[in-house]
Structure 1
Amino acid sequence: MTKKKKKTASNKLTANDLLKIGFPAGKPLGTALNIVHTYFTELGKNHQIELVQDVLTAPDLYQLHATLGSLAQAILAHKETAPVALRNEQQKYAIYGAEGIEEGALKQMDIAMRLPVTRAGALMPDAHQGYGLPIGGVLAVENAVIPYGVGVDIGCRMSMSIFDIHTGYLDKHREELKKMLQDNTRFGFSSFQKPMDHPVMDRMEFHEIPIVHELKDRAYSQLGTSGGGNHFVEFGVVDIQDEQNEFGLPLGSYLSVLSHSGSRGLGANIAGYYTKVAMDSCRLPQEAKHLAWLDLDSDAGQEYWMAMNLAGDYASACHHQIHHRIASALGETPLATIENHHNFAWKEKDAEGREYIVHRKGATPAGKGVLGIIPGSMATPGFIVRGKGEAASINSASHGAGRVMSRTQAKKTLTKPQVQKFIQKAGIEVIGSDLDEAPMVYKDIHQVMAAQQDLVEVVGTFHPRIVRMNGDEKYMEVD
């Protein structure tokens, strides 16, 4: 007797399989997956796809079907979704560092302020054009969440460890520190052969939300790693300047590690899927389509909210593992740690006690007394800051210096010798990176900080010395 072959994970129908054939996201897609995985597991994947395509093509014929009726009804309800109009008048919003903000970012923010759900907004001095909400945009809305108002790299964050090590150690042991970065960090598509375990992988969301369940194995393989682009892990020197600092540290200089990265493939896929869900259910005019929202009273809105928070916690777990590995290599325990995130949505209340969903896409939380980190570029300082709780900025500040040059423009305009000369003059050593992350593609961080003096005060200054980013292939196989 021949044993029946067990269906492999690759042959199981997934949300992406249905999205590729143009199946509507949200309730129709979730219903289709539940029905197929419950009643039609013996069919091959192609037959499963044909089955749900038949229902999608003629849902009227299946409304009374015992098994497929609920799918037909979900498709019909989806088709009846009415278009949503923007307000004729846009609400006013605060702009910080307006002279350095490009026209495209301003236009995007103007459109966001015309959404029916919008209640307040602000634009940070590092703002530049993105998708939907501009990077550096802050938007408070009522009982809704905008996936592209959060961004693709959900929960992207800064994390810093400050060590009781004299800064002279950095120059004396530069090669050792470089090797620590190469041995204990991974970027882009590279990952550790044996990822460290973390409780975040046991979260119920990985079992209860279909699209998240499909991403679990990939998320585990990328634990403790960093993305590409502007993500980095670097050694540097922190100068503590505020005697009343929250860490109880004496004024002076300390060896520090600073990292910047987000939720990797987990966050990107959650963002892509729920953006499609939002755009399918919230039909906005063409110029505003990337600002489609999910009502928090809906199943899809609650699902996204749970998935977004999971992605944020996953990003935090990755940073904690990076810092744990490096602290272990140093043989030291940090004197202090700081962490803050952006590309996220928070439930917050205004002065009158009304609750709003505050989206900070590339903006740092800066409520009164809240600590954060605002980096410059690989060759310029970053700052440990304390929020002042400015209501006009919706308790926010910039998340960095902000770009003045697109990635494409940077690669067309700059040369490697030119960038290397600039970096060497700044006394920085860079492992990896490319022309699109050269220091000159960013705004002047000092001007950006000057534009937000009402939003934050400086607690300390971070000076990068050894920077690792994506692009260094030499040590990728080392584990």
Structure 2
Amino acid sequence: MISAKELNRLGLPDDPRLMPLALKLANTFQACGADGGRSDETAHENICDAIRTLASAPETMLNHEHLGSLAGLFMELFPDGSDFTPRETPAPWRQWGNKDVEEEAVRQMENACRIPAAARGALMPDAHTGYGLPIGGVLAVRNAVIPYAVGVDIACRMRLTVLDMPLSRLFEHRDAFITAIERETRFGMGAGFEKNARRLHPVMDEDWNVSPITRINRDKAWKQLGSSGGGNHFVEFGELKVEFPARIGDVQLTPGSYLALLSHSGSRGTGERVALHYSERAMSLCPRLPDSLRRLAWLDLDGEAGQEYWAAMQLMGRYASANHELIHAHVLKTLGARELTHVENHHNFAWKEEHDGESVIVHRKGATPADAGRLGIVPGSMCSPAFIVRGKGCEEALCSCSHGAGRIMSRAAAFRQLKRADMDALLKENGVELLSAGLDEAPMVYKDIHAVMAAQRDLVDILATFRPRLVKMSPDEPRRKRR
């Protein structure tokens, strides 16, 4: 018996107007083949071949003895024909690092390179399974944007600020640093600032009417402006160690240890709503994608939906940048400190770039831009270092590198298997004070960042190393069901 799931994989849309007839006729056809003396395996292969043909060229199947009526209904329901013809071979892609990279993440990367618009792909050494494109996946496509390949947290990003205070101040005046973080940050699902304490930034004066989703969520975005949210987002103080003279931002730093502030967060609830709305819109515009590619549904950049999403994504990028700018500005102001220099980068975004002599849209989902000379930040965990890196511009990697260490344990598994006492012992051993965090962000859930960095020596150079010393993340929260 052939199943609805298999028919969907072969290219038939999971449409209630089509699938009941498809199941009935496909199984009748398969049974007739078996009754005619063919082996079950041969009969199954024949029906699979026939369904693939029907999905890609239904007009050629109108006179088929068993499937003709299905072909007619298919053409009636979907007059524009199939929006997906599987590629015989995937677009070229390369993987960096094999250690602890899940087979499913590799399969997702290969699937992504099978969509018609795919031009090239790359899989970073911190890769793990995601939705559609794996985390750590980089995908270049032609004239299209894939909302799920950007990610649910649009413009999730990093920022590191070097302070004008000596590192010793962090240890001598610990309470002042704790107060600054606790007073000036907001963590947790839905967290934000009350109306009389809302942050101010020019991003809120921009045109939020670029899409209906940004328009109706502007007030929510303003409430959450300057906040961090939940998950793996953090704000932390630590030691930035520079081994040799290095230009960080606009300043040439001499070798030594510096006090630095590091943050990780994105576009908060509004970015998520943009992502989910346009992901659903893309799937509705690509109804015949098989299940394995459903979350890789794309929006044509020449179409209204694609242009709306692109404008909303750009706005969310500026909004996420403003969040970090405000977090750092308010924390430093409370401390009475000034900025010497800073580094920042997105790692969930899509860019218009030139590669292999053509203009493409490069999606980096949990991957850091690493063009030649470009600076970025690759964090580890609360007990392992983050790195300021300089890109080497490797074209095979689409000028990208990892966005962190990458998880080796799911959040659910962390809550089941780990103990708070073990996490606390590891923090103490590494000289890290934790203000708050869930057990699902324990250092043990992440890969070895040193192994990840070793696997991408050809992608980036390390300029400086940051060691966390005072860390704040969202406390344990009830888990949400993924929509």
TM-score calculated relative to the size of structure 1:
0.81
1:289 paired to 2:294: yes
1:142–1:355: 8 Å Cα contact kept in structure 2? yes
Query: What is the number of equivalent residue pairs in this alignment?
Result: 397
CA drift at 1:162: 0.1
User: Alpha-carbon deviations, 1:118-153, whole Å to 9, x = none?
Assistant: 000000000000000000000000000000000000
Q: Give the conservation status (yes or no) of the 8 Å contact 1:369–1:387.
A: yes
Which of residues 419, 426, 432 in structure 2 aligns to 1:422? 426
Q: CA deviation at 1:163?
A: 1.1
Q: Is the 8 A contact 2:233 2:263 kept in 1?
A: yes
1:154, 1:311 within 8 Å by CA — same for their partners in 2? yes
Match of 2:263, SS state, is strand
Aligned to 1:191: 192
Displacement of 1:343 after TM fit? 0.8
For 1:88, the equivalent position in structure 2 comes to 88
Q: Distance in 2 between matches of 1:242 and 1:366?
A: 21
Deviation at 1:195, TM superposition (A): 1.1
Q: Deviations over 1:74-98 (max 9, x none)?
A: xxx9965543222121233111112
* CA shift digits 1:229-280 (9 cap, x unpaired): 1000000010112314242111111110000000001110000000011000
Q: Which residue of 1 aligns with 2:222?
A: 220
Give the aligned partner of residue 129 of structure 2.
Answer: 129
Q: 1:81 & 1:105 partners in 2: Cα distance?
A: 33
Match of 1:248, SS state, is strand
Whichever residue aligns with residue 401 of structure 1, its letter is A
Q: Distance in 1 between matches of 2:455 and 2:186?
A: 35
Which residue of structure 2 aligns with residue 440 of structure 1?
444
Spell out the pairing of 1:50-449 with structure 2 (5 A cutoff).
80=79, 82-83=81-82, 84-188=84-188, 189-193=190-194, 194-204=197-207, 206-246=208-248, 247-283=251-287, 284-352=289-357, 354-449=358-453
- For the residue of structure 1 that corresponds to 2:470, the secondary structure is strand
Kept in 2: contact 1:85–1:285 (CA 8 A): no
Q: Give ranges in structure 2 of 5+ residues lacking alignment.
A: 1-75, 478-483
SS at match of 2:252: coil
The CA deviation string for residues 188-247 of structure 1, in whole angstroms up to 9 with x for no partner, is 23222211121111222x124212111111001100000101000000010112314242
Distance across 2 between alignment mates of 1:249 and 1:91: 42
Asked if the contact 1:431/1:472 (under 8 Å) is kept, the reply is no
Work out the CA distance in 2 between the residues paired with 1:126 and 1:200.
Answer: 32
- Tell me the distance in 1 between the aligned counterparts of 2:246 and 2:342: 16
Instruction: Give secondary structure in 1 for the equivalent of 2:155.
Output: coil
List, as ranges, runs of 4+ consecutive aligned residues in structure 1 with deviation greater than 3 Å.
77-83
Partners of 1:234 and 1:464 within 8 A in 2: yes
User: In structure 1, the residue corresponding to 2:99 is in which secondary structure?
Assistant: helix
Conservation of the 8 A alpha-carbon contact between 2:438 and 2:476: no
How far the C-alpha of 1:167 sits from its partner, in A, is: 1.1
CA distance in 1 between counterparts of 2:380 and 2:77 reads 45
Contact 2:224–2:268 under 8 Å retained in 1: yes
The residue that corresponds to 1:52 in the other structure is none
Is the CA contact (8 Å cut-off) linking 2:246 and 2:254 kept in structure 1?
no
Does the Cα contact within 8 Å between 2:210 and 2:308 map onto a contact in 1? no
**1:174–1:294 distance in 2 versus 1, CA, 3 Å:** same
Tell me if the contact between 2:379 and 2:404 (Cα under 8 Å) persists in the aligned partners: yes
Q: Which range moved further: 207-216 or 180-189?
A: 207-216
Identity of aligned residues (%): 51
The answer (yes or no) to whether the contact 1:81–1:282 under 8 Å persists in 2 is no
Q: Distance in 2 between matches of 1:452 and 1:307?
A: 32
* Deviation readout 1:420-478 (Å, 9 max, x if unpaired): 111111110111111110000000000000000000001100000000001289xxxxx
CA distance in 2, matches of 1:81, 1:409: 45
The CA RMSD measured in Å over matched residues stands at: 1.8
What does the per-residue CA deviation read over 1:387-425, in whole Å, with 9 as the maximum and x for residues that have no partner? 000111100000000000000011111011111111111
Q: Secondary structure of 1:99's match? A: coil
SS at structure 1 position matched to 2:253: coil
Q: Which runs of 5+ in 1 are unaligned?
A: 1-76, 474-479
SS of residue in 2 equivalent to 1:430: strand
1:231 is matched by which residue type in structure 2? H
Alignment partner, residue 470 of structure 2? 466
The more displaced of 212-221 and 238-247 is 238-247
Which residue of 2 is the match for residue 46 of structure 1? none
CA contact (8 A) 2:386 2:467 kept: yes
What are the Cα deviations for residues 296-323 of structure 1, in whole angstroms up to 9, with x where unaligned? 0001100000000011110000100000
Alpha-carbon distance in 1 for matches of 2:430, 2:81: 56
The residue type equivalent to 1:339 in the other structure is E
Q: Secondary structure at the match of 2:279?
A: helix
SS of the counterpart of 1:309? helix
Secondary structure of the residue aligned to 2:219 is: helix
Q: Output the amino acid matched with 2:324.
A: H
Offset from partner CA, 1:12-42 (integer Å, 9 cap, x none):
xxxxxxxxxxxxxxxxxxxxxxxxxxxxxxx
